[in-house]
Homo-oligomer: A and B are copies of this chain.
Amino acid sequence: MSLQKFVPTPKFEEYKERFKDFYKLERREDGVILVQAHTNGGPIQLSVENHRSLGQLLKTIGANPENELMILTGSGDAFMMDSDPEGFVLEQESLEHWAYEYAYKDGRINVSSLINDLEIPTIGALNGPGFHTEICLMCDISICSEDSVIFDLHYDIGSVPGDGIHSCFQELLGVKRAAYALLTGEAIDAKKALEWGMINEVVPRDQLIARAYRIADHIMSQPRITRRLTTQIVRRPWRQRITNDLDGGFGIQMFGHLAKKAAMHGRAHIASTVDYVRKGRKNNFD
């Protein structure tokens, strides 16, 4: 017997409870864990709190060796189309404090957690229109509902898109389409996303989770080591991408944000900015 005993790893029942206000967690016998992000049971309304919770959750899931495959999705008929009405009071109170503690630090941890802290395959299941869809798009496999719309709101709310959405779009779309999408707020519907290789499959919304499980079942058909090593192979380009341009890009975004001396995440500001997506328009100027 070794001189020291293993430090315990997290237990599902414990963190299922701990994160319940942010994520509905379910785990099958075989270790397939379904993560449904929500705000009050519906679509995510972005706040500093749920922003931070993502990295916390992903690191916890990653630390539990009983998890074998993660399906990550949102809730209701949109992925994320609003901010929490009071979700950015901290940004308004102190832009500088918020910028490092809640934006730069937590934001980089979120992306890094998804890429670096999970040994297991991930399936992103985008359940509707939204911003910050990189959370689903940077999973190993990505599927979406037919009514999903992918777009970036940063530039249109007056911010510089450097928090990981740029890494995501440049990796998936290439430099040309990414520049256009980031500068114009282009609304990319499910069909276009499939055609452009951002998404692997498009399915009706009510079949989204079932389809994710079906793919998961196939992946689970191979043994643990095969699954997990294959994951390192297919995820490598993401590792390289975020190492290359996340820290610096995010720094540039924060620089721009502070130079503007204005909070940008107020609910009304975001709602009015992304209204064109709800209306089925391509951007704010056509």
Contact = CB atoms under 8 A, between A and B. Distances in A.
A179 B140 contact: yes
How many copies, total? Answer: 6
B3 A40 contact: yes
A179 to B, nearest CB: 4
B284 A218 contact: yes
A248 B240 contact: no
Contacts of A21: 4-5
B177 A197 contact: yes
B160 A230 contact: yes
Given A18-B7, A48-B2, A175 B184 contact: no
A258 B96 contact: yes
Interface string A233-266: 1111111100111011101111110111100000
A205 to B, nearest CB: 19
Interface stretch (A27-35, A72-80, A98-106, A126-134): A98-106
Interface of A: 1-7, 9, 18-19, 21-22, 39-40, 45, 47-50, 52-53, 56-57, 59, 63, 65, 84-87, 89, 96, 99-101, 104-105, 112, 116-117, 119, 121, 137, 140-142, 155-156, 158-162, 166, 170-180, 182-184, 196-200, 214-215, 217-219, 221-226, 228-230, 232-240, 243-245, 247-249, 251-256, 258-261, 283-286
19 contacts: A2-B47, A2-B84, A3-B84, A4-B21, A4-B50, A4-B53, A6-B53, A7-B49, A59-B59, A96-B225, A96-B261, A104-B255, A137-B176, A141-B176, A156-B222, A182-B230, A232-B252, A251-B255, A252-B255
